[in-house]
Each structure stands twice: as structure tokens, then as C-alpha cells.
Structure 1
């Protein structure tokens, strides 16, 4: 296929961007405004976390098929938690399927793609790659990206109390994305180009009220950064405009965002209700080794409730016959949870029914906007505030398509849109890994 005849597709990911906020910022951000005539809202997958939803995009499947249900994975024998990564994805990616059809992908800063594996094209994986070396394929990309000062992720550990440091780190990572764009785009030897800008998610977690409220003392600083982010959007759009026809650009977020009023820790809820029994005092918030033999259920991020089943967990005690009554009791406790006079839960969903598989959390909790669900093991209170000001939302997720005929309802459909664009069928082989 000649360079000029390729029906190229460009995917621009704008992590965490709600449509309502995009429209509100449009007058200040001219390049984002270029997308608004094509924009509408879609929904995220549940839970509304980045690894779940970006994986749903790059597999064109929901969590019940690709197997990533949250940030963390629990070892059922050792009771240790680790961060989910690409090795946990149990179904082929859209890039594998394009490659089998002879099509070339260039992928920049796509979360949950590390450790990087070979594909027909080039990959710079995003969060949560442990190092740049782990994030790149082919390996030769490591040299020029290192020379350009590329960082996989800026340091946001001080984001709750040092906004100047946070904004500096976001500028650093954003400059790296722009340098990588200069490296991966220009030869046009690709059919699909994916570029994800994740900096907005980090900004919104710590400074969402400042972004929303023009009267906030940090609004000007946030807007100054967003203008740089908007320039990066403009670089992608200008390059897209210069491409020969046929071409198409699709832009979307992985979830929405809203203000965070309080965090609610579900393991503390289960502990106080007698479902979770500790074998010893927890060493830290991730110390799942405290789950004792008398435990009936525990939580995993952000709102996954897991029965401590016999045969699945080394210390499990819940039998299949006990599960229905136990689940009914858990639903009653969770639905009865309130904060400042209002119900915390919008929904408490049956996990196997939601995901279409028994290899799923037993319950999936969806909170009301403003209350962010957590699953720590060392919190002494159910409710608290720990410095974050913004939280993910499954609704009002930004989506735009220059062809204006893409009608995805949720994140998995964006991956299917890519496959349909290139005329590829839906059938694919499934991997066998089971994730909790």
C-alpha cells in the first residue's frame, strides 16, 4: 500500500476529560475547541479506572474478557498485592490484530501496555511502566527518548501539598510526549497512530476545583498549564490536517471527573460490620496479608467486593452454599452506608452478571459523585480526606470523531471502532489468565 493511499486513523487520548469541562474550557483552549463540534459523551467501563478503560480500548473488549478489573491484583495464596500490568491482559490487542493484517501501529503513552511486547510498529507504553526501558519497543527507542528527557510519569507524590511541584512535573512529562511525537510521527510509515496525554488526570486529582472555578487562587496556574496541554493537542491536530486523504481522527477520554468531597474505605466498612477479620495489625495500606481465616469478604480497589471463598484463597472459608445469603447481607450494609445524610452508593452491582463471567469480583460498587471509594487495609475510619480534590466519574466521558459516524456507547466500543475502520472482524482468541 502506498503512503498516500493508506486510510490512516489517529487516536488522541485525553485522560480524564469530562465533556462538560471540555466545553467550559473551549473558549480558553483553541485547539481543544477544534474538537468540540464533533464531541459528545460516552460512558466508561466499570470500575472507572484508567487501567480498566484503556485496556478496554486497546483490546476492544470489556473487563469480563480482558481480565483487568482494577489497579491491583491479589495473589490468592500469599495474600500479596501488586499493580496490574500488561502481562495480566488475557486477550489480544487491537495492535496485534492490525499487525496480523499487515498494518502498522505507532503507540505513545498508552497506559497498561507495559512491560512492552513486540508489535508491528513502535510502542512507548505509559503508566504504570516501572522504567522507560520497560516501556519501549523496539529497544532502540530508549536512546533518543532518554536524550530528549522523556519520563514515563512525572512525580506526583507531593501533589496534595505542593501544587508548584506538581505543575512542574506535569510540564516535564508533557514536554516528553511532544518530543516523542516528533520521533514517532514524521515518516508516516504507519496506519494507526495513538497518542495519549495523561497529564490532565493527574492535574484533576489534585487541583480539580482550581480548574473548574475561575475565582480559585490557583486557577490561573492551572490554566497556564492547560494552555501548554492545548498546544500539544494542536500539534497532533495540525499534523493530522496535513495528512493526505483518506484519514480520520478520533479523540476520547477513559473516564470523566468530578469534585471529591470524601473518601470512603470499604475495607473499614467490612471490618466494622464483621465481614473482614484481621490476623494481625496492618503494616501499611496495601498489606493484604492481614486478611485472616475468619474473613468472609474483603474489598479491592476501588469498589470490588470479593468473597473469601474456600478453594480460591489459601485461607478462604466461604462455601458456594453460603454465598447467596452472604451477598445479600453485604448489599444491605453497602447500600445503607451514608455520609453527611446522603447515601454513598449509587449502585451495588452483581460482578459476574456485570462482566458476564464467574472470574470477576462478587460485587461492584458505584458511588454517588463526590465520594471516592478506596480499599486500604490500615485506615482507622471509614471516611476521610487525604489531599486529593478530584475523582473519576463513569459518566460524561469526552468523545469526538471527525467522521461523525462513530457511535460508541462506552470504552470497549472505541477499540471496536478502530477495528471496523480497518475492516477487521471481531473474532479473537482469549488468553487464560484469571484476574481478581
Structure 2
């Protein structure tokens, strides 16, 4: 693991971090301008509030894992929601077993620090660590945990959370087409986040607390126009929910400030957000260029977003969500055909082609990065060869059965790499990107004084 820089923050009794998934500072200011969210307005107006960049690709598992480890994808190994098996072409959803190194919470716990990690995405399954059964630290995994089993440490908390009706995640599959249902689900998960604050923040018996509210990300994906447009028919309902969310943010601040001794308070988002005007499918483009060759499947078997088994011998490249392009190398993939001598020209062809793309007269891509430059030192098959960063408004996808390059498919908000909100009560020089927030959290947890 890389050596972490030593920073000497002002001594505090503890550090408490509130993660607000997907909250960009510009959208926070737009919401605050409606006059219904006083705690968010105060945060936006505070001179200590600024922004932080996401790690690329700007996905939640990549960035929450960077927070949790203090490292980038080239070290922790998480490049997206999914990964592909080079031998079988099976695509699986990643989880904590993919993470290559201990988290900052493992490190703090090992050195006798008490951690409260609440609803952190990517933490499932909660893995038993050396010494953890004998510590009072708490770990509660967030998305994509399918159930409370294997998502909670100590295990005795499972029953307590189940009796309280704690819900890990909103049902966005149904909620995508049913705004009333989505808002009801978000209220239910928000109630659980408040329960966690009251149970674990209020006592103050910790050195490091990290609690994540994921509700804004889900709301923005499906109802961002309703949030931002006062004349939208769902705007009143969205603002009513955000009033409740704002009250939970205020509860976090009140509880943290009321603890004995000084508590360093951090607030951050894992990525920014922007209105989505169109999706662009990278695999559809590779197909149109003759670079992705696939076996035809019956219509009844289409729609499987995890079906990469259709990739044929002779395919030169494919993409994984959102815009991670892998060359179909002979020495890595069972049906691969690309040789080392073909790689430079192929990478240049794909990169140049994508940078030349236009939609409504505007570039589709802000940039296309070489994986070896973006993630130095990682030579594993998980590292993409190219990483696309789209222009805000164009949301990248990589489906296996989509033929159209552009289109809308039910989402109205998208992640952005820049503009995520960041606040530090000590007002120190802000971190540049997500891994540095994790290092800051580690350093603050190490510096924490005696518990009172």
C-alpha cells in the first residue's frame, strides 16, 4: 500500500463524516434557493464549503471504495459495478471481496480506535477482520447489500435493525416508473438513517464515524427535473421529501456539535450530478465501427445487462458500464484476438473516433483517457484500456443488446466527475479527489483524543 501523507489536524476528540450520495454543490444551491431546506442553505453559504472531484469512472462503488481505503482504483481494484471473467465472459456484480487492501476503518480498529461505519456502499459482505470481534466498532453495509445478513457487525445488531424495520435501499426498479412509490421508499430509508444517527452518533463513543445518506442519488436519477423545475407536477412532492432529508442533515450537525470535546465534521458527496439529456451506448458505437462482434441471441433472451457471453472471436474491443473500454486481448480472454502489436493503433482509433463524436452539435466526450496513464501500476485484467469521460448531459452506458447510439431510457439525472460537495469544519485545505478524503478521515481518526 502507498505511504499516506501525514497531516497534523487540530486535535479533536473525534471525526464524524456525513456522506450525501450524488449531491453536487450547484444542485445543492439550486435546492436551497427554494427556501425549504435551511440546513442545506447554511451549508452552501458556509465559506468552508467547496467541491471535490470524483475518481474515474465517476461511479459510486469506485468512489466510496476510494473513501474507504484512501486509495484509487489502481490500488483498491474496484473499477465499476461489474467485472468480467476473462475465461467464461460471465459478468458479476462486485463487492467488498474484490477490494485488495484493508479499509481505513480496519486500520483504525486494529490500532484501538472505535469506528461507526453506517450505510457505507460497497462494504457488503462485511468481512471478519483480525481483532474485530473483540472491538466495539460497528459496520453496517449499504448498497448493494441484499439483506442484513452479512451486512452488519457485530451480528447481534441484525435483530435490532430488523425489529426497527430498517431498510438498506429503496426499490428503484419499481420506483423508476412510479414517483409516489419512489418517494415513499426514500422516506423509509431516510427514517433508517435517522435511526442510525440516534443510535450511534448521539452517544459520541467513537473516534471515527461515517454515515451515508444515499437518498439524493436515487431521487436525482429519476426525478431531477421535478427537483429543479418549480412548475413540474412532482416538484411539491420532491421538495416536501427534501425538507425531511434536510431535517436529517440538521440532526447530524446538532448531534455532532453537542458532543463533549471538539468533533471534526466532514460532509462530502462521492460524485456530482447533472441533468441527463441523452444516454450514449459505448458498445453500440463499437458495434457500429465493426470493433465489437457478437453472436445473435433469440429476442426472448435479450435485455440481460450481464450477458457478455455473446462476444465473438475476432471482436477487437468491448465496454463495461459506464465507459470502460477493454481491448479483447489474445493473452487475456478466451476468445481474444488482439495482439500486442495491434494495441497502439487500435487504442488511437477508438480514442480518436470517440472524441470526434457529436450530439446536437456538441462533443459527446470531454476526454478519453488511457488506462495505463489513469491507473499507473495496475496491470490486472480489471484495469480498462480506455476510460471515457462524457460531457455533462450525456450519460454513458455499455449494454449488450442496445442498437441505438443515443436515447432516453427512464433516467433524468446523471453522475458527473466534478462538483461534488465537500465541507470541513476545520476549514483546512480541501482534498482534490475522493482518495484524499479517505486519507483525511484516517488521519483525523488517528488523531482523535480520549473518548469521554
Is 214-223 or 19-28 further displaced after alignment? Answer: 19-28
Show the counterpart of 1:298.
318
1:352 to 364, 372, 375: 372
Judge which range, 388-397 or 413-422, deviates more: 413-422
Q: How does 1:324-343 map to 2 (within 5 A)?
A: 324-343=344-363
Tell me by how many angstroms 1:185 deviates.
Answer: 2.9
Contact 1:265 1:376 in 2 (8 A): yes
Tell me which residue corresponds to 1:55: 65
Cα drift, residue 215 of structure 1:
2.0
Aligned-residue offset at 1:406: 4.2
User: CA contact under 8 A between 2:278 and 2:406: conserved in structure 1?
Assistant: yes
Offset of 1:335 from its aligned partner?
1.5
Q: Within 2, Cα distance between the matches of 1:200 and 1:193?
A: 20
Report what 2:4 is aligned to.
none
Q: CA contact under 8 A between 2:14 and 2:444: conserved in structure 1? A: no
Counterpart selection for 2:106 from 96, 101, 104: 96
Give deviations 1:247-296, integer Å, cap 9, x for gaps: 21000000010000111111110011011101232632321100111111
Q: Distance in 1 between matches of 2:435 and 2:200?
A: 25
Instruction: State yes or no: 1:206 paired with 2:222.
Output: yes
Indicate the residue corresponding to 2:31 in structure 1.
25
Q: Please, which of 201, 210, 229 is the counterpart of residue 185 of structure 1?
A: 201
2:88 alignment partner in structure 1: 78
Counterparts of 2:178 and 2:429, CA distance in 1: 41
2:425 is equivalent to residue 415 of structure 1: no
Deviation for aligned residue 1:332? 2.1
| Unpaired stretches in structure 1, ≥5 consecutive residues | 425-436
Where does 1:217-228 land on structure 2 (aligned, <5 Å)? 217-228=233-244
Secondary structure of 2:309's partner? Answer: helix
Q: CA separation in 2, counterparts of 1:272 and 1:375?
A: 13
SS in 2 for 1:288: coil
Alignment correspondent of 1:398: 421
Contact 2:207 2:445 in 1 (8 A): no
Which is worse superposed, 378-387 or 329-338? Answer: 329-338
- For the pair 1:318 / 2:338, whether they are aligned, the reply is yes
User: Which residue of the partner structure matches residue 5 of structure 2?
Assistant: none
Please name the residue that 1:139 is paired with: 155
CA deviation vs aligned residue, 1:380-412 (integer Å, no higher than 9, x gap): 211111010000011111000111014201111
TM-score computed with the length of structure 2 as normaliser: 0.90
- After superposition, the C-alpha distances for 1:347-370 in whole angstroms (9 at most, x for unaligned) are 010011111133310000000111
Write the mapping of 1:362-377 to structure 2, written as runs, cut at 5 A: 362-377=385-400
Counterpart contact for 2:55–2:63, Cα < 8 Å:
yes
Structure 1 position 189, deviation (Å) = 2.4
> Paired residues, what number?
420
After TM superposition, give the deviation of residue 32 of structure 1 in Å: 1.9
Structure 2 contact 141–151 (Cα < 8 Å) conserved = yes
The 2-side partners of 1:238 and 1:34 are apart by 13
Instruction: Tell me the alpha carbon deviations over residues 25-54 of structure 1, each in whole angstroms, 9 at most, x when there is no partner.
Output: 233211223323121011111111100001
- State the SS of the aligned residue for 2:174: coil
Answering whether residue 327 of structure 2 is matched by residue 307 of structure 1, we say yes
Deviations 1:398-432 (A, max 9, x none): 000111014201111101111222447xxxxxxxx
Quick check: 1:171 aligned with 2:187?
yes
- Separation (CA, whole Å) in 2 of partners of 1:170 and 1:376: 28
Give distance in 2, aligned partners of 1:311 and 1:235: 54
SS at match of 1:412: helix
Q: CA RMSD of the aligned region, Å?
A: 1.5
Q: Given that residues 113 and 446 in structure 2 are in contact (C-alpha distance below 8 angstroms), is that contact kept between their aligned partners in structure 1?
A: no
SS in 2 for 1:132: coil
One of 277, 295, 310 as aligned partner of 1:279:
295
Q: Please state how far the C-alpha of 1:100 moved relative to its aligned partner.
A: 1.9
CA distance in 1, matches of 2:260, 2:205: 13
1:106 and 1:423, CA in 2 relative to 1: closer, same or farther beyond 3 A? closer
Name the SS of the counterpart of 1:258 in structure 2.
strand
